[in-house]
Structure 1
Amino acid sequence: MTSSDLWDEETAAAYDDASAQMFAPDVLDPAVSFLAGLAGDGPALEFAIGTGRVAVPLAARGVPVSGIELSQPMVDQLRRRASARELPVAVGDMATTVVPGRFALVYVVWNSISNLRTQDEQVECFRNAARHLSPGGRFVVELWVPGIRRFPPGQAAVPFAVSDRHVGFDTFDMVTQQGTSHHYRRLDDGSARYAASNFRYIWPAECDLMARLAGLALERRVADWSGAPFTSDSESHVSVWRKPLDASDQD
C-alpha cells in the first residue's frame, strides 16, 4: 500500500458526477486521440484507471487496454461500463503492482501520479511504467504545473474552481511539496459538502529526472492534449517519455 488516499464506496459512487466536466467531448476526445495515436497497434496500460473515463473510449478505438487501480470501489464503478474480459484491471498501487505482458503505451492522466505522496513512490511509478513497456514504448503523464507563482505574500491557498455549485482551492507546503485540494460543493437541497484529497506536486524537470532514473528519455512535452506549445506560462503539461528501442525487455 502506498501513501495515496483511498477512494471509498461513497466517493467512488459520486466520482463521475463530481467530475462531469472531464467527460465533456472537448476535454476527453483530444486525450483519447492523443493516446490512441501513440499506442498504434499495441496494447496500453493505464495507471490509476479509476472509473474508466479514458480507458473505455480508448478501448472503443480498438486499443487493448488494461489497468491498475488502488480502489476496488472505483473498479466496481468501471465494471458498469466494461467487463473484466473487455478491460482487465489489477487492484493495487501504481508504484509496485505488476500485470502480465508488455505494452506499447503506459499512461496516467489528470494529475493522478500526484496521488503518490512521496518522491520515492513517484520514482517507483516511473520505474514501474518502464518495467511494463516494450522497447520503444512510451510513458505519458498528464499533470498540472503548481500555481505557486499566484501566491502573494501571506496567502495560504490558490483557488482552482469557483462556481455556484463548486468552490475548490489548494493549500501547499513549499518545503515538502505536499498539498491538499479542498472541495466545497452545494447540494440540491441547499446544503454543502466538504471533501479533501492529498497530493505531492511534481515539477516538469523533476519528472524528467524520475524518467531518466527509470531509463526513459523525454520525447515530447506539450501544454495539453491538443498539442499546444508548453511555455513558462503553461498551467499543465502532457509529457511523453520513451523506452529505448535497444532496452532489455526483461524485469
Structure 2
Amino acid sequence: MREGDGYFGEDVAATYDESAAEEFRPDVVEPAVDVLAELAGDGRALELGVGTGRIALPLARRGVPVHGIDLSRAMVARLRAKPGGDAVGVTIGDFATTRVPGTFAVAYLVFNTINNLTTQDAQVACFHNAAAHLRPGGCFVIEVGVPALRRLPPGQNAVPFHISPTRWAFDTYDVATQAMSSNYVTIVGGRAEHRSIPFRYVWPAELDLMARLAGLRPRDRWEGWTRTPFTSESHRHVSIWEKPAG
C-alpha cells in the first residue's frame, strides 16, 4: 500500500472497478447523476471521496464542473487514466477537513463513503467541511446503507454479503461503539488472502443531527436515487440537506 493512501492503496485501486462492477452499471450510475446534475443546476459539484470517478466522470460529461477530494493517489490515478479524467479537478487530502477554493451548488458522498470516517468527530467535521463549501441554497447529499443490525442474532457480530468458491466477504459490527469492518477472504493459487477495512456505521437520525450542527436543514430522504420513499424496511438511503439561503 502506498504511504498516505489509507486503505485504498495500489493493491485495492488496481482491481477496484472490477470488484465493485455492479455499482458501475448504467442503471445504478445514471439515476445518481440525474439527481446530482439537477441539484448542481448552473453551479459546481464537489465529490468527497472521488475515487476512480464512477460518479464524477459521467457528471462532468453532463456539463457540470466537478472537483473531487480524495486521500488515495492510487485511486485518483485510475480516474486520470480514463477518458475525460483530466476534466475533473482533484485535491489530495482527507475529505473531512480539506478545503478547496470557491463555492459549490452541491457536495456529495456516495456508496457508503461517510463510513470511511471511523469516528463520530470525523463525521461531524465532514458535515462542517461540506457546509463551508456550499453556496447559500446549496445541498449536501449522502448515500449510505442502514446498519444491518436486525440481521444479528444474539451472540453474533458478523453478516456475510458475498460467498463464492474463491471469495468470501462479511461485515463485522460492534454495537457498543458503532465500529464495523468489511472483511474479504480471497483464494489465490490455493491460498487464502485476507483484507479488512474499518468503518463507522451511522444512523439516519444521527446524520440529521450532524447536519443541524453544521447549519444545514433536511430537504429530502429517499430509499435510493430513483426517489422511492424511505421506510423502516429500507436497507439504504439517499439524504439531502440544504444550506439556508441568506
1:80-99 aligned at under 5 Å gives the runs 80-81=81-82, 85-99=86-100
Distance, in Å, in 2 between the alignment partners of 1:221 and 1:163 is 34
- Structure 1 82/66 Cα, relative in aligned 2: closer, same or farther at 3 Å? farther
Aligned partners of 1:239, 1:82: CA distance in 2, in Å? 30
| Structure 2 match to 1:237 | 237
Could you tell me which residue of structure 2 aligns to residue 129 of structure 1?
Answer: 130
After TM superposition, give the deviation of residue 164 of structure 1 in Å: 4.6
**C-alpha distance in 2 between matches for 1:140 and 1:159:** 28
Q: Does the CA contact (< 8 Å) of 1:177 and 1:201 recur in 2?
A: yes
How far apart, CA to CA, are the structure 1 residues paired with 2:233 and 2:84?
41
Supply the distance in 2 between the matched residues of 1:204 and 1:181 (Cα, whole angstroms). Answer: 20
Identify the residue that residue 21 of structure 2 maps to in structure 1.
20
Q: For the residues of structure 1 that align with 2:64 and 2:57, how far apart are their CA atoms?
A: 10
Deviations 1:157-185 (A, max 9, x none): 11222345543211011111000101223
Q: Which amino acid aligns with 1:214?
A: A
1:186 positional shift = 4.6
Partner of 1:249: none
For normalisation by structure 2, the TM-score amounts to 0.94
CA gap 1:190/1:228 in 2 versus in 1, 3 angstroms: farther
Q: Which whole-Å deviations, capped at 9, do the CAs of 1:12-33 have from their partners, x for residues lacking one?
A: 1111111111101111111111
What is the correspondence of 1:63-142 to structure 2 with a 5 Å cutoff?
63-81=64-82, 85-142=86-143
* Corresponding position of 1:148: 149
The runs of 4+ residues in structure 1 deviating greater than 4 Å are: 82-85, 189-192
Moved more, 158-167 or 194-203: 158-167
> How many residues in Structure 1 have an aligned counterpart in Structure 2?
243
Structure 1 residue 84 displacement after superposition: 6.9
Aligned to 1:199: 199
Aligned mates of 1:47, 1:40 — CA distance in 2 = 19
> Does the 8 Å CA contact 1:126/1:211 hold for their aligned counterparts?
yes
5+ residue gaps, structure 2: none
Query: What is the alpha-carbon distance in structure 2 between the residues aligned to residue 31 and residue 191 of structure 1?
Result: 38
Summarize deviations over 1:98-135 as a string: whole Å, max 9, x none: 00110000001000011010100000000000000000
* Residues 1:183 and 2:188 aligned together: no
CA distance in 1, matches of 2:55, 2:182: 22
Q: Runs of 5+ in structure 1 lacking a partner?
A: 247-251
The one-letter code sitting in structure 2 at the alignment partner of 1:17 is: E
Percent identity for Structure 1 against Structure 2: 54
Residue identity in the other structure for 1:149: R
Shift of 1:35: 1.0
